[in-house]
Amino acid sequence: MLPFLTAVKSSVGKKFLMAITGLFWVFFLIVHLAGNLALLSGNGDFYNKYSHFLMSLGELLYVMEFLLLAFILTHIFSGVSVALGKMRARPQNYDVQKDLGGKSRKTVSASTMIYSGLLLLIFLVVHISHFKYQVGVDREYFTIINGTRMHDLYQLVYDAFGNLWYMLGYEVIMILVFSHLRHGFWSAFQSLGINHPRWSPVINTLGVVLASVIGFGFLILPLYIHFIGGR
């Protein structure tokens, strides 16, 4: 236990935890996007039955939700801790951002990770409160399909994105999702020690492709629902 705690307290240990927990969330995002693409089907029953099925998983769903929460908290704790460590080590760098060139990746995504991450945290609280717990929603969203009463999540999401400002707010956040993943995926592999002159360019390209697919996928959902699906 003691060697584990010592490892976790070190910068390398924190980066390792950040990488593992981040990659788990990437996996969740792929599954979440795939499920939400059902919103484009125009068939509310299909989407509602899918989310009702997820809820019927019971304990399995609770385990998944517990892991999501534990992993995001670990990710945030290690991320903030590493960022503060860097800030203390070289405070002068926050006045002048140098282009380090070569193998270090000083892209906009890389230098704004802590900010995009913290904004995504605020987004998550608002997102889950609204879509999962329906906080502040002024009417009940329920439907009956084949005699089973279930949440009408389809209508809830369509009503939310029917509002132009709400939809635009989501678009901004989805760009942040892209930005965070674009650097995060590459960085996770570096932290896991998968750093080879031959593989690093492949991992970087894979990171860009994955971030683009997830970012673009989430980006088109609110746009489609607002401009096409809701008509």
For ligand HEM, the binding residues (CB under 6 A) are 29, 32, 36, 51, 54-55, 65, 68, 120, 124, 127-128, 131-132, 153, 157, 170, 177, 218, 221-222
**Which among 114, 75, 122, 121 has a CA at the least distance from the CA of 94?**
114
User: Which residue, 28 or 77, has its beta carbon nearer to ligand HEM?
Assistant: 28
Q: Least CB distance from residue 218 to ligand HEM, whole Å?
A: 4
User: Which residue, 19 or 176, has its beta carbon nearer to ligand HEM?
Assistant: 176
Mapped onto helix, strand or coil, the DSSP state of residue 104 is coil
Q: Least CB distance from residue 103 to ligand HEM, whole Å?
A: 29
User: Which residue, 65 or 107, has its beta carbon nearer to ligand HEM?
Assistant: 65
How far apart are the C-alpha atoms of 150 and 143, rounded to whole Å?
Answer: 6
How far apart are the C-alpha atoms of 80 and 35, rounded to whole Å?
Answer: 31
- Tokens at 122, concatenated: 């605020």
Q: Least CB distance from residue 4 to ligand HEM, whole Å?
A: 27
**Which among 29, 3, 4, 1 has a CA at the least distance from the CA of 178?**
29
**Which among 231, 217, 220, 211 has a CA at the least distance from the CA of 167?**
220
User: Which residue, 112 or 200, has its beta carbon nearer to ligand HEM?
Assistant: 112
Q: Least CB distance from residue 143 to ligand HEM, whole Å?
A: 14
